[in-house]
Amino acid sequence: MCLSDSMYIIENLRASLKCTPGEVGQLASRKLELLLTKNPGFKHMTQINNILSANDKVENIGVDVDMNCSIFKYSPITSCDVERSFSRLKNTLTEKRASLIPEHLEQLLVCSANAPYF
């Protein structure tokens, strides 16, 4: 799932929880807001998503993004996606693949992170 789709789901959930009536809805909304404000990475990913969707400029971001921002297009925003990608990456970054050039390695990592089985 691309970053813009993931961010859309989070923002949709935020809006839905704010509109949910009752005490449980308010508690869930506050819990989500607290969770997102405590997570500095989410703010950075929101800024990167704004850059990728051409809503913001690179100068306005507080994170050092020397590398190509398009690398972040398919970056996961949840830890379960990250854990899953670690197990896939350990098969990619083996000693047998020591002669890969960085461009091919980047392409291979994107393919392995987005494919169900690689």
Consecutive 10-residue runs of the chain (118 residues): their mean pLDDT? Answer: 86 91 90 88 82 67 59 71 68 70 76 62
Output the pLDDT for position 49: 82
How is residue 91 annotated by DSSP? H
Output the pLDDT for position 68: 64
Output the pLDDT for position 35: 87
CA distance 111 to 114: 5
- Alpha helical stretches, state H, the chain: 3-19, 22-38, 40-52, 79-92, 102-114
How many C-beta atoms surround the C-beta of residue 32 within 10 A? 15
CA distance 110 to 114: 6
The CA-based angle 12-15-16, given to 5 degrees, is: 85
How many C-beta atoms surround the C-beta of residue 87 within 10 A? 8
Q: Among residues 98, 40, 49, which one has the least CA distance to residue 73?
A: 49
This prediction's pTM:
0.56
Domain extents for the chain?
1-65, 78-118
